[in-house]
Amino acid sequence: MKKHPLLRRLRVYGVLLGLLGATLQSYASSHREAPLISRDPLADNTDLYAFRSPDDPTKVIIIANYIPFELPEGGPNYYNFSPDVRYEIHIKNSTATTADDITYRFTFAQSNQDASTFFNIRLGQQNLKTTYTCERSTDGGNTFTTIYSNGIVPPPNIGPRSIEDGTVGLGAASYMSLMQQAIGTANTGEKVFCGPVDDPFFVDLGGVFDVGNFRPEGNATNPTKDGLARFNVHSIALEIPISTLQKDGKTPDMAANILDGDFVIGVWASASRRQIKTLNANGTDTYTNNWVQVSRLGMPLTNEAVIPLGMKDKWNASNPANDIQFADYFKNPELALYMDNSQYGAAVPALSALRIQSNSLGSFDFRNGKAGLWALKGSPAVAGTALDDAVFGTILLPDSVSPRAVDILPIFYTGVPNLDPYQLATGKNGDPLAQGKPFINNFLPTLGDMLRLNMAVPPTPRNDPAFSSLGIVQAAVLGLTDPTYANTNIEFIPNMDGFPNGRRLEDDVTTIELQAVSGVALAAIGLWYDDYMAPNSPVTADLQAVLQFTAGPTHNDTTFQAVFPYEQQPWRGYDYTPQARF
């Protein structure tokens, strides 16, 4: 008997919801994002940040966070860096080399000052007191040199008797004083901090896990909720001179302009363990054999929202140099299916404001499996642009069924060049392939997932009224709508230093990436949403809906510090603070 079309559609939606649930079960930047690493929290990368220092523009800040969902009151064995894990921050600054150009390696050691007590801190003594050594390699990881040793990791922020009390505890002036005392300076000039901090990431985990049930606005009975509020992580923070990171040793004042491509770096972080773990009869364990990478992170949400469940463990074990094997997932990202009413858009109503262009400029369909800009392949219209085969087109226009190879793939895999058509529609006079207003250049075509940052772009002051957690998206909005920028000159637009040009602590990466999957980057360069009819304003109802969409919480549950390491002190286990709701 032939089944009713509605019944068939309901069955399809049922299968979809199961698949979507599996995909979203780890949508928390990189918190428990893959099956194997979810069993090993001490080696789990949670987030990676790279931004130009807001208080010393000659420096760049790189922050790699580990250990998700640390309850502040999680004693007596509080979370800490593992002595058996190798934590590394990797930096690329040249396409002429294949391996890392700079690698920072951190190894940790622990000791007990008073093994006769079950308390972590008592009578001025600390158990599981943690120290570390920082090494640096500049030859692709072949050799490492110690640049800082005997670094101190502050203890967990247990409570006032443990931290401030001078009789039973450490007698510190405050927990913040312990953090400041733990900041060290390497013999090569880098400033370094390792220790527990407030988790700076924010996302509505409850809504996401409920099959994409985002709460963009929230209300009195169902408020938007930051699922990471009042959780801590362990952070490795570096303040590095730009001249150390720039491949020719240049300082930022030597840049040709604020989008100088010679100042682009790619950053990723990892954790590795020995291959073999032996459980000994005396209650100890031993790690032997080769080191194996078990976790990594570059761009936020890659392994969570782009890489499918069956490939997540393989992704974590892979080097970005081998990421071409995962490229297909960026050409037709799964999330795009839920922003397309001809596919499964109706099954996820919370994303109804995000609908991908299917008839942009009356010609171009960017929904999964459609042609995108393929019709322009090899035509005179793309000559000299990034879509020209002789320049970059064999990657951006690989075939007739990979529409997002033109935007999502370069955002994650190469960075975006200051080259037609990747300039704002400002000044293009309706032709998306024409030269427009430059607003981003973090192009480092290593074809691997990294957080890419152009260090020549000035930082937006955090007290600037134009500062926005929407990063490059907000810079594009200003560049398209503010008369101040109605030209095709290279000039600073606030938030050009925001994600995905690096990542600041304040950036709302979940909202930005969902907007990007919905095609907002395409619209920014002149491939407008379907409701645009020339010569009317391209700021249409569809575009406004995308720009007004949020994934829920739009900022962290607490403040950030104005100075290094910028992250806030960890939540105190003794205190009761109701979870913030935004």
Instruction: Fill in the DSSP letter of residue 422.
Output: S
- What is the per-residue pLDDT across 233-251, written as a single tens digit (0 to 9) for each? 999 999 999 999 999 999 9
Q: What integer pLDDT is reported at residue 215 of this predicted model?
A: 83
> What is the rounded end-to-end Cα distance, in angstroms, of the chain?
51
306-324, pLDDT tens digit by residue? Answer: 888 889 999 999 999 999 9
Task: Summarize the confidence of residues 33-49 as an average pLDDT.
Answer: 88
State pLDDT tens for residues 168-197: 999 999 999 999 999 999 999 999 999 999
For residues 45 and 165, give the distance between their C-alpha atoms in angstroms, rounded to a whole number: 34
Which amino acid appears at position 490 of this protein? I
Cis before 438? omega within 30: no
Render the burial of 69-98: b for 16+ CB within 10 Å, e for the rest: bbebeebeebbbbbebbbbbbbbbbeeeee
Taking only the tens place, the pLDDT of each residue in 431-455 is 999 999 999 999 999 999 999 999 9
Residues 462-471, mean pLDDT to the nearest whole number: 97
Is it the case that residue 18 has pLDDT exceeding 80?
no
**CA Rg, the chain, in Å?**
24
pLDDT-based confidence at residue 34 (cuts at 50, 70, 90): low
Buried b (16+ CB within 10 A) or exposed e, 112-148: eeeeeeebbbbeebbbbbbbbbbbbbbeeeeebeebb
The pLDDT of residue 30 is 63
Compute the average pLDDT of residues 548-562.
94
Q: Determine if the peptide bond prior to 459 is cis (ω within 30°).
A: no
Mean pLDDT of 119-144: 97
- Specify the pLDDT at position 221: 76
Rounded Cα gap, residues 582 and 580, in angstroms? 7
What are the tens digits of pLDDT across the range 107-122? 999 999 999 999 999 9
What is the rounded average pLDDT of the residues 278-287? Answer: 94
pLDDT of 272 above 50 = yes
pTM for the model stands at: 0.93
Compute the average pLDDT of residues 397-405. Answer: 97
Confidence of residue 37 (pLDDT cuts 50, 70, 90): confident
Q: Which two tokens stand for residue 354?
A: 């995000």
The pLDDT of residue 393: 83
Dihedral, CA of residue 425, residue 427, residue 433 and residue 435, to nearest 10 = -120
| Tokens (6 digits) for 151 | 């670094």
Residues 328-345: pLDDT tens digits? 999 999 999 999 999 999
Among the ranges given (218-232, 275-289, 375-389, 470-484), the one the predictor scored with the smallest mean pLDDT: 218-232
Q: Calculate what percentage of the chain has a pLDDT beyond 70.
A: 93
C-alpha to C-alpha distance for 88 and 86, rounded to whole angstroms: 6
**HSE (CB half, 13 Å, CA atoms) of 526?**
21
Q: Using DSSP bridges, classify how beta strands 184-185 and 191-198 pair: parallel, antiparallel or unpaired.
A: antiparallel
User: What's the pLDDT at 22?
Assistant: 42
pLDDT (tens digit per residue) in 72-102: 999 988 999 999 999 999 999 999 999 999 9
- Percentage with pLDDT > 90 across the chain: 85
User: Which residue matches tokens 């050009």?
Assistant: 496
pLDDT, residue 571, reads 97
| pLDDT at residue number 577 | 62
pLDDT at 212: 82
How confident is the prediction for the chain on average, in pLDDT? 92
Burial of residue 161, with CB atoms counted within 10 A of its CB: 0-12 exposed, 13-18 middle, 19 or more buried: middle
Confidence of residue 33 (pLDDT cuts 50, 70, 90): low
